[in-house]
Amino acid sequence: RSIAPLPLTPSPPYPTTAYAPPTSPLRSRRPVTAITALRRGFASALASLAEVSVTPVASASRSPRTIGLGAFAPTKMASSVMTGAAAALAPTPRGATVRATVNHRGAAASAMRGVRCSNAAAPTPASGASGASRRRSLYCKAIAAPVSPAELQAPANLHGFQLLREEYVAEYDAKVFLFKHEKTGAEVMSLSNDDENKTFGVTFRTPPANSTGIPHILEHSVLCGSRKYNIKEPFVELIKGSLNTFLNAMTYPDRTCYPVASCNLQDFKNLVDVYLDAVFHPNCMTNEKTFLQEGWHYELDAADAEMTFKGVVFNEMKGVYSSPESVLARECQQALFPDNTYGVDSGGDPRNIPDLGFAEFKDFHGKFYHPSNARLWFYGDDDVEERLSTLNAFLSEFDRKEVDSVITTQPFFTEPKRVVASYVAGEGEESQKSFVQVNWLLSDAPFDTETALAVGFLDNLLLGSPAAPLRMALEESGLGESMVGFGLEDELRQPTFAIGLKGVSTEDIPKVEKLIFDTLASIAEEGFTQAAIDSSVNTIEFSLRENNTGRFPRGLSLMLRSLAAWLYDGDPIEPLRYEQPLAHLKERMASGDVFRPLLKRLLIDNKHKVTVELNPDKALGKVQDDEEKARIAAYRAGLSPEDIEKVVADTEELKRLQETPDSPEALACVPSLDISDIPRESKSIPCDISTMGATQLLTHDIVTSDILYAEHLMDLHSVPMDLMPLVPLWCRAMQRMGTSKRNFVDFDQTMGATTGGFSLSPFTSSIRGETDVAAYLVLRGKSTADQAGEMHDLMAEMMLESKLDDREVFRQLVLESRSGMESRVQGGGHSVAAGRLDAMDSVAGYVDELMGGLAQLEYLKVLTKRIDTDWDGVVGDLERIRAAVVSRHNSVTNLTADAKTLDASSAAVSSFLDALPAHGTGVATEPWSPSLVLPSVNELITVPTQVNYVGKGANLYRGGYELHGSAYVINKLLGTTWLWDRVRVSGGAYGGFSDFDSHSGMFTYLSYRDPNLLKTVANYDGTVDYLKGLKLEQSELTKAIVGTMGDLDSYQLPDSKGYTSLMRHLLKVGDEERQQRREEVLGTTEKDFHAFGEALEATRAPEAKVCAVTSPEAAAKAVTERPDLDFKVTSVM
């Protein structure tokens, strides 16, 4: 759980920071690697203008070969900072379609976001600056290290700390100092290397005793003002005007983490100071209104109105509990750990959250938020002594105390157990399917590094690719629609393993269990093939050595890895090393079978095993609603008329406080940078454009540690439109049925053993000012320089010789995609609503909708039946797609590596391109007409849910608006002011934000886990008047500009830089335009806000449309209350 929405995986029920690099590369096969990005949107606009990486992601497959981690905002790249990076949350992939995904920082701050920062880092005084007000330049090194990290010495002045250990960790070229604060006992891990993306984090052990959500509510609340920063929400102020590359807070079942990161030294210091003051001196200990806002309260607008529960966390968790996958994860965790803190929900059960009182809330902070219970982390190129001095200034106010926060061990069961539970199901026949998952507790303590590696290898061998035997047995069994569980979880005190299926018929539940046990027994008897082991070893080693954390700061990834031992009083340095344990493990593997004994001990002979069966219940939703209403009615019945009036008055007072902004004088307490700190000139990425035969070739000479990153793009316009919905499944089928040369298992293992992996996915985007659409099939891969030939040979084999005629494999792919889409509609409805609105507006949006929106889900339902009635026709269509799209005609190749690697790889690339046909056959002959859009209607999409996802949008270009860089600033500010205050703070939604697709002109409002529907639409419409009447202090305008420049000058790893340059090329955004937009951003004035308010009149004109994912009951109420909107109601589940 987090203060701003995180793109979490469906399992487990806690934030393993899951969307980004798993804390261990061993979990690279987790489904988060397949989170599909969904939309072009504002983020993709920034991608073309800025140093923002845009990554196509593979479909719903869990293959570890998926290149790229997906979008920061799966589906909606929240332009604004979000109140939700809500945009950020779609845990399930968009069917099998893939779009430009952006490591977006704009939506950022409030979400777990993409890596962002300036391309150089930190501070020197700006000219003319002096004294305490001196501003810092963004683009110089934080420190000029006089020595290499290996030779770095501890500072002479330790500022009240004791040095416990110092070691050099060669794996990350980092000098590590472990300190202990002498007065309080707080421990500090200080890592120094040349990484400009500096990271800080403070973590407390916070084991809850119940499911009231107290650690989660506290995590939200401490960031709502503090002793030094005495305003409503310093967190939001940081979102507005910081250059941070990461800013969030996360609640686990047993800890709460507060991490920040930035490439700019002064900005980094500001973030650290705000966060330390927040956790140690929060205003929420004396201001009960914060608890009521973030946690829960009774809301009553008038004495005769309906009384409800309201609160940000309360509504967030209602959304979580609306997802069957989340319910399953909760049931499994609590069944495995009935006797310790993991047996309750730290995020909060909506049924229990209203049991929490303010006194208990305060006591929890007093007990656990103390330096004696803190673990602090620094990483990067800032000065070690300054780190200690900063910390001591806060810690020295406290005295050491004993804090009982030890996470007790769950005793092992003597016999397996079984749990049967229910989830809220819809009315449709397809919704009446069960989940079954088998779960094991693996150990009574965290694994040591070598054991963790071995178990990670075992996990990868069992489930790490579609060819892994346990995964393949389940996916090809025909017993369910898609996998759940996803294997190893080792971030808590005791590691677990889980696997199962969803979409299972009741009569097949025992068969699923038997299949899991029989398959494990067979593997324990026969062992793994050497080819499988070689593939797994290369896959994991490549991931470890590449250390590509995507948009996730590397320092934060290491912090979370270290905490897996440190939090439980283990060695915090050991998890950072892998070379020696890996070498020793390889020696063991060479001399004997490591994995069969491990499999037998951990799974087959393990009695601590729980099977969880989750069955559909169509009546459960009403039962839950009735219980909540009855509880409120009982409370209300005990109130006198005077008490009722007090509840009304309290509601009004809370809303007044929520909607009253802080004064400019108060806001001045939050430190920020100045526009003068920002370079006027935009940075460019090295790009050479040439040709290789008929193919346009883009090369980027960038240091990549001898790794070649390659993208081969083929023209998607060649595919006939009637086949477009089949393209995502064709991409998956090409990778799942083997080739004419080898079967699927051999091909997959060869790819794993010789490359860093490759994937196939579609990409589409509007191009500003043109009716043309950028639409390509993207084949994306990576390998070491000496493996480039093998990788391209395998690519050619897949593209030209893949089989497409395995009916049962294809059936399973369809069921998996359908299952993923249904989960996405329920858990990420904002992305579905956004996609529908786009599809009503543009050809690119329409094609996206066919490949990954609600239209895709409807297509999958029909295709499921067609597999049985017209299989030959399906195969024929798959072959027609290959014949049309696989060719060199209008193709583009994009290569990123250093000059030496580019030269060495040239022959392999040329050979691959030469193998492709010059032209496709059966290609589409009709151009894509601008009229190719969905009918423009107001639409309510109904699913079983307790919350709403509300969208509204219109095209600004059609109203005459011409793009100006100030739009980026304005959109960012909206998400931290009007929309944050009205939709999230006052409205109670987990997120509310806007998105401006500057390529198509589509402006969209979206909300996430929202208790309101029509009220949110009214708030959207109020944006126009808000902007027209806005009076901006210069300091507020400066913050917004600085924060937007952080989006434009974002930090990127080498592969992201190369892909960003490709996107700019495809979307026809040149350096001249980028410089123009940059100057317009820097020159934004208050008048620009007023003018944009006029442009937004289009969003409340009759042409603007509403699309929301909601419950049948909420839809019926909206239809009744707003007949003028003439809603079309579409039932999905």
Asked if 255 and 206 count as a contact pair (C-beta separation under 8 A), the reply is yes
d(CA 500, CA 332): 11
Of the candidates 51, 41, 26, which has an alpha carbon nearest to the alpha carbon of residue 74?
Answer: 41
Which residue reads 């497959």 in tokens? 61
507 is an active site residue:
no
d(CA 534, CA 254): 37
Longest dimension (CA), the chain: 84
The dihedrals phi and psi of 179, each to the nearest 5 degrees, come to -110, 160
219 is an active site residue:
yes
Helices (H) and strands (E) in the chain, counts: 36, 27
Query: Which of 477-495 are b and which e, b meaning 16 or more Cβ less than 10 Å from the residue's Cβ?
Result: bebbbbbbbbbbbbbbbbb
- Retrieve residue 508's tokens: 């097949």
Beta bridge partners of 174: 169
Concatenated DSSP letters for 351-390? TTGGG--HHHHHHHHHHHSSGGGEEEEEEESS-HHHHHHH
What separation in angstroms does the CA of 1036 have from each of 431, 667, 992, 1040? Answer: 49, 9, 20, 6
Of the candidates 430, 388, 449, which has an alpha carbon nearest to the alpha carbon of residue 190?
Answer: 388
Asked if 361 and 295 count as a contact pair (C-beta separation under 8 A), the reply is yes
Asked if 956 and 969 count as a contact pair (C-beta separation under 8 A), the reply is no
Whole-angstrom Cα Rg for the chain: 27
Helix, strand, coil content of the chain in percent (nearest 5): 45, 15, 40
Q: Assign residue 636 a region: left if phi > 0, alpha if psi is -120 to 50, beta otherwise?
A: alpha
Query: Which of 251-279 are b and which e, b meaning 16 or more Cβ less than 10 Å from the residue's Cβ?
Result: bbbbbbbbbbbbbbbbbbbbbbbbbbbbb
Q: Residue type at 104?
A: H
Q: How many CA atoms lie within 13 A of 1043 on its CB side?
A: 37
E strand or H helix that includes residue 599: helix 595-599
Neighbours of 974 (CB within 10 A): 28
d(CA 843, CA 492): 46
Burial class of 705 by CB neighbour count within 10 A (0 to 12, 13 to 18, 19+): middle
Asked if 965 and 1077 count as a contact pair (C-beta separation under 8 A), the reply is yes
Cα torsion angle, 644, 650, 652, 654, sign: negative
Residues 6+ apart with CB under 8 A from 765: 40, 44, 99, 100, 773, 774, 775, 844, 999, 1066, 1067
- Retrieve residue 25's tokens: 């590369």
User: Which of these is catalytic: 51, 233, 237, 294?
Assistant: 294
User: Which of these is catalytic: 51, 187, 196, 219?
Assistant: 219
What separation in angstroms does the CA of 696 have from each of 47, 622, 890, 908? Answer: 21, 58, 8, 16
What separation in angstroms does the CA of 1133 have from each of 166, 428, 660, 819, 826? Answer: 57, 5, 40, 11, 9
Q: Where are the alpha helices (DSSP H) in 961-1070?
A: 966-974, 978-979, 1014-1028, 1034-1048, 1054-1066
Positions annotated as catalytic residues are 219, 294
